[in-house]
Structure 1
C-alpha cells in the first residue's frame, strides 16, 4: 500500500535530487503525472478503437447475413397490406398499404448497401437460397485474430502520436498509425508484422529536455479533454444497436446472428402464411 509519506516523495526513486545534489525540480511530479495520463489515454484509445472496429465488422456481417431477410419481411408486409386493402376497400387500409409499399421502394445505392445481395429488381439468387435454407456462400468475415490484436496493441503503444513532443515526430507517428489502423481493420496479420518491423527499424524520436511547468499543465488539460471526447465516442458505440448486440455475445457473435436469423425466418414463414390466407 502506498503511504501518505510515499505520496509526498518518501519512496526511494521518487523526487530524486538533481545530479548536482540540489532539491528536486518542481516539475518532476507534474512530469510523472503527464506520463501516467498519456499512457492511460493511449490504453483507453486502444480499447475504444478496438471496439469500434469490432462494431464495424459486426455491422457489416449483420447487413450481409440478415439484410435480405429484413427486406423480405418489408416486402411481405407491403403485400399483406395491399391484399387487405383490396379486400376491404377501406381508405385507411389503402393508406397503410401505400405507407408499407413506400418503405420497400428501391433507394439509390441499395446494391452497395446490401453488398451484392439485392438490387432494385429484388433479391439475388444467393439471398433467395439463404431464405429457403439452401446452401449459400457465407458472408465475408473480417475479424482480427488474437495475434493481430496483440500486434496492433503493441504498435499503438509504441508509435502513438501522443508520445511525440515535436510536430515533425507527431506527423510521422500519425501517418504510421493510420496504416496500422487500416491493417488491423482488415485483420491483416502479415502487414501488421511488417509494420512492426518497419517501426523497429525506423528513427528514434529525439530525447526531450525538461518541459516547463506551464506546458505540462497545458498537456494535462489536453489529455483530459481528449479522454472526454473518447468517452463520448465509446458511449455512442455501446449504445448503438449493433454495439448493444455485440455486447450481448462478445465471445460468439456468430451464434447471436444465427439466433436472429432463425427468428427472422420464422417471421417470414408466418407472413407468407398470412399473405396466402388473404389471397386465398
Structure 2
C-alpha cells in the first residue's frame, strides 16, 4: 500500500519531469531561433564583404582618378594665384594621392620573415602589449623563476595527465619570466602551492539546461552587436539604400563617379587653357594710303 510520503515523492518526480520537459522545449526553440538568426547574420556579413570588395575593385580606380584630378586642379589654381592658402590646399590634395608606404614601413619592425612579433600579435588581438623592460630580468625575478621551475618542471610528473598540467603551467612561468614580471611569478608560485582546483560535481540536467539557455542568450546578444556594427559601417549604410539589388547600386555609383571625373577633367582643361600664354599678335599690314606712291609708266 502506497504511503502519503511515497505519493508525495511521486508527484514531485512528475512535476520535476514536467519542468525539465518544458526547459528542454525552451532550449530547442531558442536553438532553432538562434540558428536562423545566425544564418541571417552570416548572409548579411557576406553581402557586406562582397559589396566592399566589388566597391573597391570596380570603383577604387575612379576614386583614385578623382583624387588625382582634384590635386591637379588645386595645383593649377595655386600656380596661377600664388596664394598661400591655395598652395596649402594643393599640398593637401596631393598628399591624398601620394603612394602608399611599403608594408614594412607601416609596421616599423612589427613584422618580419617569421610573421608578426608577439607584441604585434597582442596588438591585433586587442591585448595589452608588455615588451620586456631589459635584456636580462632582475635578480629577484631570476631567483623566483629558478625556485618555481624546480617545483613545477614537467620532468617531475608521475603520469601523462600530471605532465600535461605541468607543461601548461611552465608556459605561463616562462612568459612571466620573459617579461621580468616578479609579481606574476610570485602569484604563480602561490597558485602552484595551492594545488589544482578540485573537480566540481557535474551539474544536474536542469542546471545544464539553464546554462544552455544563458549561453544562447549571450550568443544572440553578441550576434546582435555584430549586426549593429555591420549596419553602422559605411558599406552597411550603402547596402541599406538598395536592399533588393545592391549590384544595381554599384552601377549607379559608377555612373555618378564617371560624371564627376568628366566634370573634373573639363575644369582642369579650362584652367590649363586660361593659364596658357596668349599667342603674339601678327604684324600690322601697312594701309594703302600710307604706301609710297610708285611711278606708273607713261605717267606725266
State the Cα distance separating 1:211 from its structure 2 match: 5.9
Change (3 A) 1:211 1:81: same
Aligned residue pairs total: 164
Change (3 A) 1:21 1:75: closer
Is 1:64 the equivalent of 2:36? no
In 2, Cα distance between equivalents of 1:109 and 1:211: 58
Q: Normalised by the size of structure 2, how large is the TM-score?
A: 0.51
Is 1:49 the equivalent of 2:47? no
In 2, Cα distance between equivalents of 1:28 and 1:230: 28
Counterpart position of 1:242: 235
**What RMSD over aligned residues (CA atoms) do the two structures have, in Å?**
2.4
Change (3 A) 1:23 1:241: closer
Q: Which moved more, 1:53-62 or 1:69-78?
A: 53-62
Change (3 A) 1:246 1:91: same
CA distances 1:81-125 after superposition (whole Å, capped 9, x unpaired):
111111111111111111110101111479xxxxxxxxxxxxxxx
Counterpart position of 2:259: 266
CA distances 1:197-231 after superposition (whole Å, capped 9, x unpaired):
xxxxxxxxxxxxx9611121111111111111100
Is 1:221 the equivalent of 2:214? yes
Change (3 A) 1:103 1:22: closer
Q: Normalised by the size of structure 1, how large is the TM-score?
A: 0.54
Change (3 A) 1:257 1:21: closer
Q: Could you tell me which runs of 5 or more consecutive residues in structure 1 were left unpaired when the two chains were aligned.
A: 1-16, 111-209
Change (3 A) 1:58 1:23: closer
Q: Could you tell me which runs of 5 or more consecutive residues in structure 2 were left unpaired when the two chains were aligned.
A: 1-9, 104-202, 274-300
State the Cα distance separating 1:51 from its structure 2 match: 0.8
Is 1:83 the equivalent of 2:76? yes
Change (3 A) 1:74 1:251: same
In 2, Cα distance between equivalents of 1:211 and 1:67: 58
Q: Which moved more, 1:212-221 or 1:228-237?
A: 212-221
Is 1:251 the equivalent of 2:235? no
CA distances 1:231-266 after superposition (whole Å, capped 9, x unpaired):
011111122221222232233222211111111111
State the Cα distance separating 1:24 from its structure 2 match: 3.4
In 1, Cα distance between equivalents of 2:29 and 2:75: 64
